[in-house]
A = this chain, B = another copy of it.
């Protein structure tokens, strides 16, 4: 028995959906996405250079050494982006949710890998054409610059986590951040839907799967979270969880 969650429901009228080109018209991610701020004409141009990609859980989207020919926008599902070392060590730099944009800052090759965690769909844009479009629309370019700045900020915050936080603090930060991101996409503010395995979380937080498991148990025992079916985690005392995440003594 699954708890039914209200799906994201952007106000289609306000977004000028009536004018939107086909793949976009029915896109549930547009409200939280890069393309959500575009005018109908720009959106049409964008849609013209886009194709759809569908991935099954576990399938790769981007190989680190592949030539960076395309950029992508996630429409449904969860993906993981990360770096690998010659041995088995991995760092998952981030999980991609609907509305997230991938592959922009790449050079010749992507330099990082991306795989589907759950089944996922994306918009694929030819990079040269996408770039040309950007140059024609300074507003789009500016928006992308803001997104890049946000990414830098998030990456720095994650550096603090990896460099200085304890296992429990890492888990608390992760759950809080994931719930917040999902809330922005229409989810409940006090639920983190873990679509990914403990191993993926471990590679994101610089821990082992065992430590992730222990950390979650510790948070549960502390009364900060409840583990629900289907990989859902309910945040029972968000302020206390935030305090732990930030290393505050807790009020």
Residues of A near any B CB (own CB < 8 A): 83, 85-87, 89-91, 93, 104-106, 111-112, 135, 138, 141-142, 144-146, 148-153, 155-160, 162-165, 203, 205-206, 246-249
B247 touching A83 by the CB < 8 A rule?
Answer: no
Distance (whole angstroms) from the CB of A204 to the closest CB of chain B: 8
Distance (whole angstroms) from the CB of A206 to the closest CB of chain B: 3
Q: Which residues of the other chain, B, contact A145 by a CB distance below 8 angstroms? A: 141, 144-145, 148
B206 touching A162 by the CB < 8 A rule?
Answer: yes
Given contacts A85-B164, A138-B141, A164-B85, contact A148 B105 (CB under 8 A): yes
Minimum CB distance partner of A131 in chain B = B142
> Which residue, A112, A138, A157, A159, has most C-beta atoms of chain B within 10 A?
A159
A164 touching B91 by the CB < 8 A rule?
Answer: yes
Distance (whole angstroms) from the CB of A174 to the closest CB of chain B: 13
A155 touching B155 by the CB < 8 A rule?
Answer: yes
CA distance A155 to B153 in the complex (A): 10
